[in-house]
């Protein structure tokens, strides 16, 4: 495997050719903010939160889709990048509405996490009223609240790439763009298997765990063997 030499935030690194700048930075312990990116999924480059400055480039570039090249010099934080990220987060929050329904797992809301990290107050910036019905799908397992969807596409890629299913897609254009199941049907009509991959990869809780939203998350760790087999996958149910 051939290696390339790059500099990220003053750190000299030697990384494999073909790696992205985001992956190289992570390997060096540098966190670049992301929303549409997930390490298990193909990069999408849609949200632009991960933009970085590259010496010699005329514009900032999305690090999640940018391959490293020999001699590259990258800056991941600067006043201009900070302003750019704050603008992106404000725009995302302007169409985001959180009515307060969420599972208490607390690990879905990456949007609010990054907003706070860039000194933004999600509550004061988010849309005042919902645009879509809350809990809009009748399936028994997945809570659907499109008011919290930021169109990152992680649910679509998780369904297709992790599970080999094609339940989720996009419909409409521009401001009206939204995720839809199948041909704008219910999830079960679109042949959803209720595997929960879309929930696990959703960064905002637009897709959430319906029983957990309704009943609240369990407050203790349980190791169990379920009724489907005798192997015992030992999921941590917490």
Least Å distance, CB 137 to ligand FES, is: 26
Does 155 sit near ligand FES (CB under 6 A)?
Answer: no
Residue from 19, 24, 30, 50 in contact with ligand FES (CB under 6 A): 50
| Region from 35-43, 190-198, 218-226, 229-237 binding ligand FES, contact rule CB under 6 A | 35-43
Residues 60-79 that bind ligand FES (CB under 6 A): 62, 64
DSSP per-residue letters across 77-117: --HHHHHHHHHHHHHHHHT----S---TT--S-HHHHHHHH
Q: Which residues pair with 3 in a beta bridge?
A: 16
DSSP summary character for residue 220 = S
Does 49 sit near ligand FES (CB under 6 A)?
Answer: yes
Does 111 sit near ligand FES (CB under 6 A)?
Answer: no
Which residue blocks in 135-193 are alpha helix, DSSP H?
A: 154-157
The answer to whether residues 95 and 73 touch, using CB atoms and an 8 Å cutoff, is no
The answer to whether residues 113 and 34 touch, using CB atoms and an 8 Å cutoff, is no
Does 34 sit near ligand FES (CB under 6 A)?
Answer: yes
Does 37 sit near ligand FES (CB under 6 A)?
Answer: yes
| Region from 34-42, 87-95, 115-123, 168-176 binding ligand FES, contact rule CB under 6 A | 34-42
The answer to whether residues 170 and 151 touch, using CB atoms and an 8 Å cutoff, is yes
Does 48 sit near ligand FES (CB under 6 A)?
Answer: yes
Comparing CB distances to ligand FES, the nearer of 36 and 192 is 36
Residue from 35, 41, 155, 199 in contact with ligand FES (CB under 6 A): 35
How many other CB atoms sit within 10 Å of the CB of residue 10? 8
Rg of the chain over Cα atoms, rounded to whole angstroms, equals: 20
Which residues in this chain contact ligand FES in the complex, by CB under 6 A? 34-37, 45-50, 62, 64
């Amino acid at each position: 495997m051939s290696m390339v030499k790059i500099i990220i935030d003053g750190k000299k690194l030697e990384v494999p050719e073909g790696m992205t700048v985001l992956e190289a930075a992570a390997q060096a312990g540098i966190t670049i903010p992301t929303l549409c990116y997930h390490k298990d999924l193909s990069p999408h480059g849609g949200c632009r939160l991960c933009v970085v400055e590259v010496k010699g480039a005329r514009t900032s570039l999305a690090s999640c889709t940018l391959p490293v090249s020999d001699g590259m010099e990258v800056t991941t934080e600067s006043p201009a990048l900070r302003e750019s990220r704050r603008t992106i987060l404000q725009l995302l929050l302007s169409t985001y509405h959180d009515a307060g329904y969420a599972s208490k797992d607390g690990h879905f809301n990456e949007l609010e996490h990054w907003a706070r990290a860039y000194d933004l107050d999600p509550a004061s910036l988010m849309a005042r009223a919902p645009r879509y019905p809350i809990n809009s799908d009748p399936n028994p397992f997945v809570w659907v609240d499109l008011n919290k969807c930021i169109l990152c596409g992680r649910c679509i890629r998780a369904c297709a790439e992790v599970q080999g299913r094609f339940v989720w897609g996009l419909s409409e254009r521009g401001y009206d763009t939204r995720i839809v199941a199948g041909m704008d049907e219910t999830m079960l009509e679109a042949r959803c298997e209720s595997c929960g991959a879309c929930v696990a990869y959703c960064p905002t809780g637009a897709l959430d765990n319906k029983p957990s939203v309704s009943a609240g998350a369990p407050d203790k760790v349980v190791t169990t063997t379920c009724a489907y087999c005798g192997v015992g996958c030992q999921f941590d149910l917490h």
